[in-house]
Amino acid sequence: MRVEWSDFARDDLDDLVEYISRDSAFYARQFGEKVVLATRRLGDFPESGRRIPEADDDCLREIIVQGYRVMYRFEADTVLILAVMHGSRDLSNTSNQPW
């Protein structure tokens, strides 16, 4: 199964890495690598993430990396990373939901 990143998710990760790099380029790079490495296992184990509590779709899942929610959707042959956002962000409002 392929793991692909949506433009939105790629922008999320780029923004987070840029924000962290204001304090430390080392930790920013390390964080970005952790997120990417964590998503690689999804190609073999797409159901390994938990269901997104705010979503009613079993194919919408997330993994947690250092307090950040990496949200994705899996289909027959593809895992699509949808968003990377802080775990405290409120997703009860549908306009904030990236799916």
pLDDT of 90 above 90: no
Q: Scanning the structure block, which residue is given the tokens 């919408």?
A: 60
pLDDT in tens, 28-72: 999 999 999 999 999 999 999 999 999 989 999 999 999 999 999
**pTM for the whole thing?**
0.90
71: β partners: 62, 83
Task: Please list, in sequence order, all residues whose beta carbon lies within 8 angstroms of the beta carbon of residue 68, skipping any fewer than 6 positions away.
Answer: 16, 35, 84, 85, 86, 87
Domains of the chain: 2-90 (3.30.2310.20)
CA 99 to chain centre: 12
Quote the tokens at residue 52.
């997104």
